[in-house]
Copies of this chain bind each other. A is one copy, B any other.
Amino acid sequence: MRSKQPTIWDIAIKLNVSISTVSRALRNAPDINPETKKAVLDLAHQLDYQPNTVAASLRKNKTDIIGVMVPEFVHAYFPNVILGIQEVANATGYKVMVMQSSESLDIEKHNLQAMVSSRVDGLILAITRETNDYEHIVAAQRKGLPIVFFNRIVDELQGSKVMVDDYKGAFMAVQHLIQTGCRRIAHLAGPENMTIGRNRLNGYLDALKAHQFPIDESLIMHCDFVEGRARRCTQLLLDMPNRPDALFAVNDPTAVEALICIQENDLSIPNDIALVGFSNAPHSTFVTPPLTSVVQPIHEIGQLAAQLLLRQINAPQQFIPETHVLDTTLVIRKSTRELI
């Protein structure tokens, strides 16, 4: 059904010049007569000529597309990262192709193949929670695909990485709970094979130790980003004979599940149970009570990842991967008690 669109050939014929002249004019090459150039541009505009980037990509062996794959984008975190990516991509003439793996390793593999087949110039990737075999990723890297990782980071993979100071954020969060009088602090944890889960857990543990609190393993629940699991874990905690008086959640969706569960049990936040999240999202502000949360520079994560990727794509030689750690801050709202 697609009617044929004008090509440089059409323009060349009408203007009685060669296609290379047209091509030069369109890409404003230096060696061209301003008048011919104007004629070409005018006609191109008149015909509403749109260059066929498919052809250009094939010829240049470069698509000017960067791929982005995330586990999901219904929570606000990933969309906001993508926003940051698109910002720097568009500013430099790149397009962004977004895919999502739905936390499924199979889909991740399939999408990665599609990205490779589409010959994206590079990829910004947050792996799924079930990705424990990295051969498909390493294979893509062997083919020369530059990949920048963020959020879901594992030590086994090489490449540039953008992370936030999870350890410090977790430490501050738990310390704040301690300073506001909480005594039994539970942790709704993430997957331990990811640095994001491990570092936040370590921050939790070290904060307890720093204040001479005992470590109670039964207060550490692995929710691992699985939807619905935080709710069940919270219920288990609430049902304990001596239930905790505070929860530190590995991220905001987890915290929100906990919040709903606590309220369903007719307990009050923060008086019965104090609650801290780790901000994936601005929406932590409009639950009731608004969530005390560790805030991370989401937008900047995307921008930085894109910048790193573009540097690598355009690197003349071998590019040495960089790991960047961005700062986190604790924002105190109403889900934790007042300082004593």
CA distance A319 to B158 in the complex (A): 49
CA distance A116 to B54 in the complex (A): 11
A76 at the binding interface (Cβ < 8 Å): yes
A2 at the binding interface (Cβ < 8 Å): yes
- Chain A: interface size category: 35 or more
Residue picked from A82, A86, A118, most chain B C-beta under 10 Å: A118
**How does the 8 Å CB contact mask read for A292-325 relative to B, with 1 for contact and 0 for none?**
0000000000000000000011011111000000
**How does the 8 Å CB contact mask read for A46-66 relative to B, with 1 for contact and 0 for none?**
001011111101100111000
CA distance A48 to B315 in the complex (A): 25
Q: A52-B119, A73-B73 are in contact. Are A315 and B1 (CB under 8 A)?
A: yes
Q: Which of A29-37, A139-147, A173-181, A210-218 contacts B (4 or more CB under 8 A)?
A: A139-147
- Contact between B315 and A50 (Cβ–Cβ < 8 Å)? no
Complex partner residue of A143 from B48, B54, B260, CB under 8 angstroms: B48
Q: Which of A95-103, A159-167, A197-205, A232-240 contacts B (4 or more CB under 8 A)?
A: A95-103
How far does the Cβ of A89 sit from chain B's closest Cβ, in whole Å? 11
Complex partner residue of A98 from B76, B98, B114, CB under 8 angstroms: B98
**A1-B315, A48-B139, A73-B79 are known contacts; what are 20 more A-B pairs with Cβ within 8 Å?**
A1-B144, A1-B312, A1-B313, A2-B121, A2-B145, A50-B117, A52-B117, A52-B119, A53-B117, A54-B57, A73-B82, A74-B79, A90-B110, A95-B114, A96-B98, A96-B99, A97-B98, A98-B98, A286-B287, A288-B288
